[in-house]
A and B are shown apart, each in its own frame.
Chain A
Amino acid sequence: MKFKQLLIACAAVLGAVGARADINVGVIYSSTGPVSAAGLSMQRTIAILPKTLGGERVNYIGFDDGCDTSTTFKAVRKLVTEDKIDALLGPQCSANSLAIAGFMAQSETPMISMAGSAAIVEPVEGPKKWVFKTPQSETLMASIVVQHMAGAGVKTLGIIAFNDAYGEGWLKEMTKLAGTHNIKIVSVERYERNDSSTTGQVLKTLAANPDAVFIGAAGTPGVLPEAGLVERGYRGKIYQTHGIASEEFLKMGGKNVEGTFVPLAPVLVAEDLPDSHPAKKASLEFVSKYEAIPGAGARSPFAAYLWDGAVLLDAAAKVASKTAKPGTVEFRRALRDALERLKDVNATNGSYTMSPTNHNGLDDRGRVMTQIRNGKWKLAN
């Protein structure tokens, strides 16, 4: 018994020594549960993340939370109190990111979320001062959709969206933006992720005969209404959200999704980007590393969100390590301040410029309009 205690004590001392030497970064992803496809791609990405941040060696400590809030809480508590992390990358789910913001602020540990919802970092006040995020907000994505529609002469729009928070978020953004671009919304239909038929919604949309249809869906369920529209001979333009960006969607959609317009993170069409685009170099580097992982398959936008989080940390740690040592609260404070002052950091999702009021930092270059051509994402004309 004594011996065992001694061993534990030794381990604790060694661990403490290790923590003092390196930067420790916690990573929380969801490789099981409802968003596991995205989570798996993040889990794989940890292996190719930079080995040093701001010149200091770094340990990544990964956790799968299954997109379950209580598991996230357990994981983050362990990461902060036992592993003494200097920063957190994640979580991947929006509700979970919101839930732990208070705890992160209390422990004075900066976090960079990989979740979609803008509410995670807006408005930047209270505990959210410690929270940053890499993915584009819905507003940013919706604005390029509406701009593209206006440019293509779309006057009337039909919307078919998920009957949940995701669909609701998009519906709100689209309604707001369409009004300012003189686009009239002529029909709004809702459906469930698990629905096996959307004939009613499709028929109603066809009856309204809009110039374009916007489908507010994520993942493969986005195929269902689009296939219905195409099979019933709809000739207008069809738009989807970036939530559908997966190989499975292309595979299942096949011919029916040919020609669809999708707002995407630049990384998915890295090769097509003009050389002047801030995301091109970073994207190509990420893609060559990610696609070299055995069994990883094609690039994933979700993996790129994690990658960008590490890029931001790298830039901030360069500044913070000048004033404080990793593993101390001073370092974490310095890291947060440095993150907030980042300017023109080029990563796979565009160029990040943070400020005390903007903790996402992406601008109009943070997304591109693509079109599905021959079963591939291509830059739209």
Chain B
Amino acid sequence: MDFPTIVFLLMDGVTMGAVYVLLAVALVMVFNVTRIIYVPQGEFVSYTALTLAGFDAGQRPATVWFLIGVGVLAFVLDLLSLRKSVSGFGRRLVSSALLYLILPLVLLLISGFVVGKEVNLVFKIAVSVTIVVALAPGLYRIAFKPIADASPLTLLVAAISLHFVLVGAGLRMFGPEGLRTPAFAGEPMQIGFLMITPQLLWVLGLTVVLIGGLYLFFERTLYGKALRASAISRKGAHLVGISTDLAGSLTLTIAAAIGAVSGVLIGPMTNMKFDSGFLLGLKGFVGAIIGGLAVYPLAAAGAVFIGVLEAFSSFWASAYKEVIVFTLIVPILIWRSVAQPQTEEEVAEE
């Protein structure tokens, strides 16, 4: 194994690792705020890549229709539950209609405008990301809001069900074949023996920007602080007037946005299929486990490690690559359970 090979593998590992970092951070965030182990996180990656590929092929992606279906269902659920409420009926109805009905319709119109025209790739990316992110509040409303106070196990089962629904819908919408999105513009740069593609720079750059943005959001904004408060104690946050519903919905939306950006980043590098997202999400999850589903920097480091480990094991023992990556979870779980005693909340729940 010579030096250039090591550098190539490192570069490949860090690129994939950066995507896993995004997914791991999203998983840790969702778990902290809502206690959901967010299995469908990977689906937002594949949905975005495939939606973008649909635009690229000159078709209106079926994701828009799915969005409208999810929106209508969420709105009906809101109507049914609002019936019982006394105050603020009109205001809540309007905001619900805006989020679940008007926004999807606007996106439907915009996507109709994008299709069949020579539009900038950046615009197509923006529309695809928005469509996928707009799914998140509706999915939270349908799948998680009614059982937001249930045990983590119940929430996990709901998350797994949602994963199956999304994969099934994905097969229906995008078909069984894999698609690739167009590469980002720019010529590869030659530095010594290294070929650095603009794709690589985009992946690393955007990952850093997103992580920085999240940091600022959680440290500097009121909503961010409210989410942190919910993460520390749901009951306490509720007592001081933070809406746990809003916290949950907002968290899942941010997670969807992170997933969507990952989808844009990874789309040109590999062929995405309707079910490709799950495996990506799972590897992000291994990273998140390294961080104990709690510590962001540790989860991020773990995710990069997974990426690099994957690259090197595909070189040394390609037949056992997945085995190596997923077996890693066993010693980590042992280490974590020895190193970290149960937290108070976990004890209280038992």
A residues touching B (Cβ–Cβ < 8 Å)? 32-37, 163, 189-192, 194-201, 203-204, 207, 219-221, 223-224, 246, 248, 252
Which of A32, A201, A207 is in CB contact (< 8 Å) with B5?
Answer: A207
B271 touches A197 (CB 8 A): no
Interface residue ranges of B243-287 to A (CB < 8 Å): 266, 269-271, 273, 275-276, 279-280
Q: Is there an interface contact between B315 and A196, defined as CB atoms closer than 8 Å?
A: no
Using known A-B contacts A34-B176, A37-B176, determine if residue A203 contacts B322 with beta carbons closer than 8 Å: no
5 closest Cβ pairs, A-B complex: A200-B314, A200-B315, A196-B270, A220-B178, A199-B12
A198 to B270, CA, bound (A): 9
Q: How far is the CA of A224 from the CA of B272 in the complex (A)?
A: 11
Bound: A76/B319 CA distance, A: 37
B98 → A minimal CB distance (Å): 37
Q: Which listed residue, B177, B180, B314, touches A199 by the CB 8 Å rule?
A: B314
Question: B273 and A204: CB pair below 8 A?
Answer: no
Chain B residues near A221 (CB-CB < 8 A): 178, 271
Instruction: Let me know if A196 and B276 touch, CB within 8 A.
Output: yes
CA distance A141 to B176 in the complex (A): 25
List B177-207 residues whose CB lies under 8 Å from chain A.
Answer: 177-180
B314:A219 contact, CB within 8 angstroms = no
**B186 to A: closest C-beta gap in Å:** 15
A195 to chain B, nearest CB (A): 8
Q: In whole angstroms, what is the CA distance A197 to B17 when docked? A: 11
Which positions in B face A, CB cutoff 8 Å? 5, 8-9, 12, 15-16, 171, 175-180, 266, 269-271, 273, 275-276, 279-280, 310-316, 318-319, 321-322
Would A199 and B311 be within 8 Å (CB), given that A194-B276, A224-B270 are in contact? Answer: yes
CA A81 to CA B314, docked complex, whole Å = 50
Contact B318–A219 (Cβ < 8 Å): no
| CB-based contact A201/B318 at 8 Å | yes
CB contacts (< 8 Å) of B271 on chain A: these are 220-221, 223-224, 252
Residue with the highest number of chain A CB atoms closer than 10 Å, among B315, B318, B321:
B318
Q: A189-B318, A223-B271 are in contact. Are A200 and B9 (CB under 8 A)?
A: yes
* Cross-chain contact of A219 among B5, B16, B178, B316 (Cβ < 8 A): B178
- CB within 8 Å: A-B pair count: 90
Query: Is there an interface contact between A194 and B177, defined as CB atoms closer than 8 Å?
Result: no
Given the interface pairs A199-B12, A199-B314, A200-B311, the reply to whether A194 lies near B5 with Cβ below 8 Å is: no
Q: Which of B15, B275, B310, B315 has the most CB of A within 10 A?
A: B315
**18 CB-based A-B contacts, threshold 8 Å:** A37-B176, A194-B275, A194-B276, A195-B314, A196-B16, A196-B266, A197-B16, A197-B269, A199-B9, A200-B321, A204-B318, A220-B271, A220-B273, A223-B178, A223-B271, A224-B270, A246-B177, A252-B180
Interface centre among B171, B176, B279, B316 (most CB of A within 10 A): B176
- Cα–Cα, bound, A219→B177 (Å): 8
Bound state CA distance, A99 and B110, in angstroms?
50
Q: How far is the CA of A212 from the CA of B91 in the complex (A)?
A: 68
Residues A192 and B321 in contact, CB atoms below 8 Å apart: yes
- CB-based nearest B residue for A192: B322
B178 engages A252 (CB within 8 Å): yes
- The answer to whether B318 touches A190 (Cβ under 8 A) is yes
A68 → B minimal CB distance (Å): 14
Q: How far is the CB of A132 from chain B (nearest CB, A)?
A: 27
Q: Are B315 and A204 within 8 A (Cβ)?
A: yes
CB distance from B189 to the nearest CB of A (A): 15
Residues of A within 8 A of B311 (CB): 197, 199-200
Find out whether the CB atom of B322 lies under 8 angstroms from the CB atom of A199: no
- A290–B135 Cα distance when bound, in Å, is 39
Bound-state CA distance A354–B59 (Å) is 47
List A contacts of B16 (CB < 8 A): 196-197
A201 and B180 in contact (CB under 8 A), knowing A194-B276, A224-B270?
no
Q: Is the Cβ of B12 less than 8 Å from the Cβ of A252? A: no
Q: How far is the CA of A278 from the CA of B8 in the complex (A)?
A: 50
Q: How far is the CA of A194 from the CA of B167 in the complex (A)?
A: 14
Contact partners of B179 in chain A: CB under 8 A: 220, 252
Q: A197-B270, A197-B310 are in contact. List 13 more A-B contacts (CB 8 A).
A: A36-B171, A36-B175, A36-B176, A190-B319, A192-B322, A194-B273, A196-B266, A196-B276, A196-B280, A199-B8, A199-B12, A200-B315, A203-B5
Residue of A nearest to B319 (CB): A190
Chain B residues near A204 (CB-CB < 8 A): 315, 318
